[in-house]
Structure 1
């Protein structure tokens, strides 16, 4: 059997900003530097994909206490002991930081020879990273990745595969006004940015006055030379959000990985959990998995290989909408599946969720939280087989040095065989935060 080569995991979670054409008009948004820094620190969750001897390269170095914890529960990987983003340049991708790093020789020595680049998503300059660090990597071209991740591609895929398509493409402020007025006669509708993600780039239009303001906003950008291109679609009455994860290999063979139910709030991801067998049986009966194979076949025809996450939903009347959009990259639900794989070895199960907090006590960070959870018997360990399994550390502390009441986020899994115990552990985790002067946002 051929020996597995060392993998080098690198992640930039807000990949969409690097795929988006700068000449496209934007919907109104409020910049949030704290949130952007939190997203930039999510790269440490790539440890879940690692096998012994692999390398995880992160923007901010893993905290020693967190590394020790992960090793105690069975993870064995190498990582950079220094920050790669030494100047806090959150607008730069990890590929850019690696190419500009002052630590090139140290990183090259850690990586060694003949290692494989395993990114969260394909971004510009990936080929240069492979060349600079002598990494192997069968990656699709950036142009292909950019194309298949556009919502325009998903929109046309529905027509290619004869999936019911309620969306329309609008290409001017005037077009939005005309189309929107018709849609409002039936109810509220969504405007979707071609590269919007997890709550950003989806705008719900509920009134004519709101529509007129947005149309005028887009027209003003149009007059400055920006290209207006969005998808609009009626707000459907859904009962379930879910997603399917699969992988396309070099020959186009589709490896079905998982289906995960999603809990979204205001169009933003909040939790992934495992569906029961009746849910999966219903999808099988309605031809859902055959449709995923069809989508995979078309993606491969268009030159894409790698991980895929297809967002889907079930309407209140039971209709399965197999394709909302295609995400040609790794995903939060795929990360949740990696949690499942790790816990399954021990006969356990969990989920993937997060808490958004602000810290009124700058002296209490992740290391103290880890210690508190351990002392209170709430921390998942190899010996107790239940508790809170922290999936990130830097996301909690990344803004701490900037100001008081800085925002943070803890990604975690609640590990337990009992549903009621999971709820209890979740409440105990929240109580631990509030006792240490954290304000909770969800």
Structure 2
């Protein structure tokens, strides 16, 4: 990219909450601290971007068993042994933790002045971190990043690119009711939070009763001084979800990186995989990449450069919807691409998925899990050319305590040259978890 200096990768994966105006009315949601803790340690996934000499800075010390395994299969990166979040301040992004750290005697030498800060997403406090720790940062300002990540921006971009736009913006509970009734007369519709992500921030309305409850809920927030802005869209009957990853340089040059097919559970991400050649030809014939090039130019015109992930879909009737929303940051599909970059040297490809589980055995450690996978011939290594490649450890362990039913998540890639064998390996992985007193939720 812009420089060959040492890079320090870091992440706060629920970036959207830090771009969101606290005075903006919200859709109803149930806070889940267990899930929030899991998301907070997804930053371990950033090791996939590291080249030899680079480092990954995580909220919690990088799991040493996981690091040893990753080094054994060829990954080479530095990681912190200190705890950046000893008080579990989950509402603070990693940049705020760095700014307020009581442990700068350890943090400063690890960051090494003049290293390049390479975040998952640009968030508040990023500029202060670069200044405080003498880091280089090749990214636009937070206000620009916040603007282009709003669903309002994605909605307006459809008009700028002459894409069919079925959505409408509402600015009050009254407009929500009137526009919602119009949409409901034709079928189900979605209320979209301007900064909702991965299953949070999209609400499906299928009846007048649901709409009335939402109007009442938003009205009560307006009465407390909040302001309203939502995108309403008819529910589209989709056949395929997919995304396109590209990079805009500081000079405005666009580099296409990958396309990923997505498997979603409702509105939440569950898996990324590589599309076949016929799918790519379909996109090419529909001028999809020409449109993405135009989109990149518009983003750069508005001051943004860096990684972009565009969510798209194909409807049941074959119509392509090229722009659902713009994610001006790294993405899970880009992480999947990084897995492929690693596997390419062995002429292999994987997917990116996760198991959402709870453990009935807090004494069953991550090291025991890796040993079990190894003993059963399931653990990936370059020598066996297939298997389960675990990508995160802390997401599985973070909620473990003496209590039972600790929720966790294992991110992994299934590696095999054969599609049928990938299915078999996935089934064996699930059986392995079940045998060791894990309950699987997805």
The answer to whether the superposition gives a TM-score over 0.5 is yes
375-384 vs 32-41, which deviates more?
375-384
Partner SS, residue 304 of structure 2: coil
Q: Which residue of 1 aligns with 2:343?
A: 343
Contact 1:248 1:306 in 2 (8 A): yes
Query: Cα RMSD over matched residues?
Result: 1.1
Cα distance in 2 for residues equivalent to 1:402 and 1:18: 33
Q: Sort the Cα spacing of 1:281 and 1:173 in 2 relative to 1 into closer, same or farther, 3 A.
A: same
Q: Sort the Cα spacing of 1:220 and 1:113 in 2 relative to 1 into closer, same or farther, 3 A.
A: closer
Contact 1:72 1:382 in 2 (8 A): no
Cα distance in 2 for residues equivalent to 1:441 and 1:406: 12
Contact 1:365 1:396 in 2 (8 A): no
Report the alpha carbon displacement of residue 317 of structure 1 after superposing the two structures with TM: 1.2
Report the alpha carbon displacement of residue 237 of structure 1 after superposing the two structures with TM: 1.1
Contact 1:63 1:393 in 2 (8 A): yes
Aligned pairs for 1:102-117 within 5 A: 102-117=102-117
Contact 1:312 1:325 in 2 (8 A): yes
Q: Sort the Cα spacing of 1:402 and 1:97 in 2 relative to 1 into closer, same or farther, 3 A.
A: farther
Contact 1:261 1:275 in 2 (8 A): yes
Q: Which residue of 2 aligns with 1:196?
A: 196
Cα distance in 2 for residues equivalent to 1:222 and 1:26: 10
Report the alpha carbon displacement of residue 223 of structure 1 after superposing the two structures with TM: 1.2
List per-residue Cα deviations over 1:40-68 (Å, max 9, x = no partner): 01000000000001110001111111110
Report the alpha carbon displacement of residue 82 of structure 1 after superposing the two structures with TM: 1.9
Q: Which residue of 2 aligns with 1:94?
A: 94
Runs (4 or more) in structure 1 with deviation over 4 Å come to none
284-293 vs 93-102, which deviates more?
93-102
Cα distance in 1 for residues equivalent to 2:171 and 2:209: 20
Partner SS, residue 193 of structure 2: strand
**Is there any run of 5+ residues in structure 2 with no aligned partner, and where?**
none
Contact 2:307 2:330 in 1 (8 A): yes
Contact 1:351 1:414 in 2 (8 A): yes
Partner SS, residue 136 of structure 1: coil
**Is there any run of 5+ residues in structure 1 with no aligned partner, and where?**
none
Q: Sort the Cα spacing of 1:306 and 1:365 in 2 relative to 1 into closer, same or farther, 3 A.
A: same
List per-residue Cα deviations over 1:58-95 (Å, max 9, x = no partner): 01111111110010011111111122111111111110
Q: Which residue of 2 aligns with 1:69?
A: 69
Q: Which residue of 2 aligns with 1:179?
A: 179
Cα distance in 2 for residues equivalent to 1:421 and 1:390: 17
Cα distance in 2 for residues equivalent to 1:354 and 1:177: 38
Partner SS, residue 345 of structure 1: helix
Cα distance in 1 for residues equivalent to 2:367 and 2:408: 14
Q: Which residue of 2 aligns with 1:405?
A: 405
Cα distance in 2 for residues equivalent to 1:63 and 1:265: 29
Partner SS, residue 349 of structure 1: coil
Cα distance in 1 for residues equivalent to 2:100 and 2:222: 36
Aligned pairs for 1:283-432 within 5 A: 283-401=283-401, 403-432=403-432
Cα distance in 2 for residues equivalent to 1:11 and 1:171: 32
Count of aligned pairs:
441
Report the alpha carbon displacement of residue 3 of structure 1 after superposing the two structures with TM: 7.6
List per-residue Cα deviations over 1:284-322 (Å, max 9, x = no partner): 111100000011000000000100000000111111111
List per-residue Cα deviations over 1:253-297 (Å, max 9, x = no partner): 000000000011110000000001110111111110000001100
Cα distance in 2 for residues equivalent to 1:69 and 1:158: 45
Cα distance in 2 for residues equivalent to 1:366 and 1:360: 14
Cα distance in 2 for residues equivalent to 1:409 and 1:325: 26
Partner SS, residue 324 of structure 1: strand
Q: Which residue of 1 aligns with 2:229?
A: 229
Q: Sort the Cα spacing of 1:97 and 1:402 in 2 relative to 1 into closer, same or farther, 3 A.
A: farther
109-118 vs 281-290, which deviates more?
109-118
386-395 vs 396-405, which deviates more?
396-405
TM-score normalised by L of structure 1: 0.98
